[in-house]
């Protein structure tokens, strides 16, 4: 089932590249991402801040494809919100489906803007995946990327995509953290966890 979903994500990647080639010629670039994932019961909460830069002297309007993996182990994205700027202006979200969704990005000339995306997914196993590889379709490394995972205190990560994380206990949760500069992902963000066995 996951192989089938991956093939659809490859198609999504091709569509993303087509749109992002248009974005590149228009002066739009993807610069930073700061992602946070939180497990609460069987729900997987996502919150991400994405930094975009419009280098053009013209106002920009661009459709952004945002892939979300749905398969037999995790649902499609639910309760999606996309906001922009310090006033958290809501952006239109459309074409919501099993492979993700689209949103409409508007930026002033020669400006940097943070877009915040939030959603949740229902999980049927002790694992979750987030699509990172579409970052490659922008044709450049991220200037900065950070990734944070918060799990209940009796749960620990047993599989993760990067090297050893920094780990802290914050507000009764086990928090795992990675950060990178000049970052190009080599794979998707795939996690698995289990209960901590207490003797």
| Residues of the chain below pLDDT 70 | 1-26, 198-199
Number of domains in the chain: 1
Amino acid 175: pLDDT: 97
> In which domain, by residue range, is 101 found?
2-195
Amino acid 16: pLDDT: 47
Amino acid 139: pLDDT: 87
Residue 103: give its domain's CATH number.
Answer: 2.60.40.3680
Q: For 79-108, b where at least 16 C-beta lie within 10 A, e where not — what string?
A: ebebebeeeeeebebeebeebbbbbebebe
> Is the separation of the CB atoms in 67 and 15 below 8 Å?
no
Amino acid 97: pLDDT: 87
* Nearest-angstrom CA–CA distance, 193 and 181: 27
Amino acid 23: pLDDT: 47
Q: What is the pTM of this model?
A: 0.86
Q: Which helix (H) or strand (E) holds 151?
A: strand 142-152
Amino acid 199: pLDDT: 56
Amino acid 13: pLDDT: 47
């Amino acid at each position: 089932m996951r192989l089938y979903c991956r093939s659809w994500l490859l198609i999504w990647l091709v569509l993303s590249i087509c749109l992002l080639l248009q974005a590149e010629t228009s002066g739009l670039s993807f610069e930073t991402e700061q992602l946070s994932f939180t497990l609460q019961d069987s729900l997987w909460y996502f919150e991400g801040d994405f930094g975009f830069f419009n280098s053009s002297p013209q106002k920009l309007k661009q459709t952004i494809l945002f892939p979300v993996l749905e398969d037999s182990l995790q649902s499609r994205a639910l309760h999606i919100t996309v906001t922009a700027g310090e006033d958290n202006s809501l952006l239109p979200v459309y074409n919501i489906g099993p492979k993700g969704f689209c949103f409409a990005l508007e930026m002033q000339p020669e400006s940097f803007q943070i877009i915040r995306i939030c959603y949740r997914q229902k999980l049927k196993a002790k694992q979750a995946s987030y699509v990172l590889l579409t970052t490659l379709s922008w044709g450049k490394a991220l200037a900065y990327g950070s990734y944070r995972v918060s799990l209940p205190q009796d749960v620990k990560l047993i599989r993760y995509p990067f090297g050893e994380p920094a780990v802290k206990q914050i507000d009764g949760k086990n928090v795992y953290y990675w950060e990178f500069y000049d970052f190009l992902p080599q794979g998707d963000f795939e996690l698995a966890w289990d209960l901590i066995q207490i003797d």
